[in-house]
């Protein structure tokens, strides 16, 4: 619709008479529109506030001198009562449904709830409470963010799995006590103090069920649980320091001797010869002690090569003391020729670099050991299987799985099969020994201390551990080695009347 010319002419004349032009008119119109918009917004806010006030009905103070109320909502058909109080830690209102329409019951419930909340406020705790399962989930998520393949730069994936196992046991204990749905701040801390004893008596679900649980592992569980309450619950003000569970640790033996069983020298000889001359040749020893064809050796065309690779791998582990986990992360670029002075050494020795991200301690170390031929055989076996070795390949890699490193479990499975078919498994069971891949490291250290007379400082550098750890775990070897020194001249003392027969005993004065 076009404007009426007469109206336009009249408006123009009016503006000229007032000393105004078209821009003045536009400014006036804009100002008027803005003022109208502000007035409308103000009215909308007042209408909204009035509506909100109408939604809060039957409001009543929980206590006359406290700013906590119960109320009903006008926009809710159930007419249940709600509880509301200000949370100073989050600077927000804390609201909770009381799930009742009875005023007296609502008021009693609210007063009880307020006392709990008042205590949490006094302790600077958040008003929102969580269950043990929710706490474990929060703590696990925090741990996942710290996962790193580089030691001491976070926790390793293996450590995460172990910590998760520890926390699952804690959840089982909480369920056993009937506190599954109880929030962590409401669980009496004295009621959970016997977690360690409960774990000690709990039947084992796997492993050797005839041996008791390790006190050391149980205490590690206790440590992880306490860490969860301190680093996740307390730090996030979900619980106060004085409400953290009080858990007793179980007693551990002060004997820091072997933590894993190892082969004796005769058993090692039997073990090595079986792998070298029977297992890697596709045979096994039957019940009568005779060498027979092993059907498993024919399961694929590369099985004999795989057996030879395993045999040489075990030989390397037993002759270097490298941790199995470290060895599985080694790459061919980590294996180089050392700077030697003789051709004989050059043919025997190899230089192994344990990178920081591979080493358990996170510290780079270099060792030179006479295992070059074993590495050469491994590389030759891969070539015979049609695999072209590259510098960035893992020493033990699976070409069928994108050249990924073999797992510890795959090596352990082969180890158990070898022990069974060699006849060593039964012999070890009679001695209550349980051999693992890590036993190779303990064997290496023991033999070097017993026969190699290797200085502790040098050995600690080679195997990547502290001198203190060596003396704590293997200190019993010194008296065995130096038995002749300890008993030297004892014969002369006997001749001079020194009593070697009767023991010395303590008596009361």
How crowded is the C-beta side of 466, counted as CA atoms within 13 Å?
A: 4
Length of the chain in residues, anyone?
509
Which domains are seen in the chain, by residue range? 132-243 (no CATH), 274-447+458-463 (1.10.443)
Q: How far apart are CA 442 and CA 473, in angstroms?
A: 9
DSSP tag of 365: E
Q: Are 375 and 350 in contact (CB under 8 A)?
A: yes
Report CA Rg, the chain. Answer: 38
Q: With the C-alpha atoms ordered 376, 377, 380, 381, is the resulting torsion angle positive or negative?
A: negative
Element containing residue 317 per DSSP (H, E) = helix 303-320
3-class SS of residue 58: strand
Token pair for 62: 């929980």
Q: What pLDDT tens digit does each residue of the chain (509 aa) get?
A: 566 666 666 666 766 676 666 666 667 677 777 777 776 676 666 555 544 545 788 888 888 877 788 888 887 778 889 888 877 766 777 788 888 989 889 888 888 877 777 766 666 666 567 899 999 999 999 999 988 766 667 777 878 999 999 999 999 999 999 999 998 888 998 899 999 999 999 888 766 566 677 888 899 999 999 999 999 988 887 888 888 898 999 887 655 444 557 888 899 999 999 999 999 999 988 888 888 898 988 888 999 999 999 999 999 999 999 999 999 999 999 999 988 767 777 788 999 999 988 888 888 999 999 999 999 999 999 999 999 999 999 999 988 888 898 888 889 999 999 999 888 988 988 888 888 899 999 999 888 888 777 888 888 898 888 888 888 787 666 555 555 554 555 555 555 555 545 554 444 44
Q: What are phi and psi of 21, to 5 degrees?
A: -125, -175
Closest CA to 179 of 133, 224, 115: 133
Question: What is the C-alpha separation between 273 and 263, in angstroms, rounded?
Answer: 14
Q: What are phi and psi of 26, to 5 degrees?
A: -65, -40
pLDDT for 509? 41
Nearby residues of 452 by Cβ (< 8 Å), 6 or more positions away? none
Element (H, E) at 460: helix 456-463
Tokens matching residue 499: 């009593």
Q: Provide the pLDDT for residue 501.
A: 55
The string of DSSP codes covering 339-391 is: --SSHHHHHH-EEEEE-TTTSTTS--EEEEES-HHHHHHHHHHHHHTT----T
Structure token pair of residue 506: 């303590």
Does an H or E element contain 133, and which? helix 132-144
> What does the angle CA 350 – CA 353 – CA 357 come to, to the nearest 5 degrees?
155
Q: Are 72 and 102 in contact (CB under 8 A)?
A: no
Backbone angles phi, psi at 75, to 5 degrees: -95, 10
Query: Under a CB-based contact definition with an 8 Å cutoff, are residues 225 and 245 in contact?
Result: yes
User: Where does 106-157 show beta strands of DSSP type E?
Assistant: none
**Interacting residues of 481 by C-beta distance below 8 A, sequence separation 6+:** 449, 450, 453
């Amino acid at each position: 619709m076009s404007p009426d010319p007469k109206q336009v002419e009249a408006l123009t004349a009016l503006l000229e008479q007032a000393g105004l032009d078209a821009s003045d008119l536009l400014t006036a119109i804009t100002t008027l529109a803005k003022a109208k918009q502000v007035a409308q917004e103000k009215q909308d806010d007042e209408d909204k506030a009035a509506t909100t006030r109408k939604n809060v009905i039957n409001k009543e103070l929980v206590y006359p001198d406290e700013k906590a109320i119960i109320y009903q909502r006008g926009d809710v058909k159930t007419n249940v009562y709600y509880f509301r109080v200000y949370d100073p830690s989050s600077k927000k209102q804390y609201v909770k449904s009381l799930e009742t329409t009875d005023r007296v019951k609502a008021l009693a419930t609210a007063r009880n709830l307020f006392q709990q909340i008042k205590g949490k406020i006094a302790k600077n705790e958040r008003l929102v409470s969580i269950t043990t399962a929710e706490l474990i989930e929060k703590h696990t998520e925090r741990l996942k963010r710290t996962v790193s393949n580089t030691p001491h730069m976070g926790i390793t994936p293996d450590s995460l799995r172990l910590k998760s196992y520890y926390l699952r046991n804690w959840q089982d204990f909480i369920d056993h006590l009937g506190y599954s749905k109880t929030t962590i701040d409401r669980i009496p801390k004295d009621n959970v103090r016997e977690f360690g004893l409960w774990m000690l008596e709990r039947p084992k679900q796997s492993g050797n069920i005839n041996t008791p649980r390790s006190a050391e592992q149980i205490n590690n569980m206790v440590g992880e649980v306490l860490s969860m309450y301190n680093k996740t619950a307390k730090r996030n003000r979900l619980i106060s320091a004085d409400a953290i569970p009080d858990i007793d640790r179980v007693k551990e033996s002060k004997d820091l001797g072997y933590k894993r069983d190892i082969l004796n020298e005769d058993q090692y000889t039997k073990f090595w010869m079986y792998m070298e001359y029977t297992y890697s040749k596709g045979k096994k020893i039957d019940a009568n002690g005779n060498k027979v064809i092993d059907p498993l050796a024919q399961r694929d065309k590369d099985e004999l090569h795989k057996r030879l690779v395993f045999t040489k791998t075990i030989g390397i582990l037993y002759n270097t003391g490298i941790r199995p986990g470290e060895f599985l992360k080694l790459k061919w670029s980590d294996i180089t020729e050392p700077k030697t002075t003789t051709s004989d050494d050059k043919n025997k020795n190899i230089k192994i670099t344990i990178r920081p991200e591979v080493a358990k301690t996170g510290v780079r170390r270099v060792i030179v050991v006479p295992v070059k031929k074993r590495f050469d055989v491994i590389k030759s076996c891969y070539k015979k299987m049609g695999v072209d070795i590259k510098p960035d390949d893992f020493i033990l890699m699976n070409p069928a799985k994108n050249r990924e490193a073999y797992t510890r479990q795959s090596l352990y499975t082969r180890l158990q099969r070898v022990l069974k078919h060699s006849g060593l498994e039964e012999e070890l069971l009679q001695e209550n020994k349980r051999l693992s891949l890590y036993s190779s490291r303990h064997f290496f250290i023991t033999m070097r201390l017993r026969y190699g007379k290797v200085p502790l400082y040098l050995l600690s550098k080679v195997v990547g551990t502290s001198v203190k750890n060596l003396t704590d775990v293997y200190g019993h070897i010194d008296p065995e080695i130096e038995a002749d020194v300890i008993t030297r001249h004892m014969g002369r003392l006997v001749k001079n009347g020194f009593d070697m027969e009767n023991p010395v005993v303590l008596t009361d004065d």
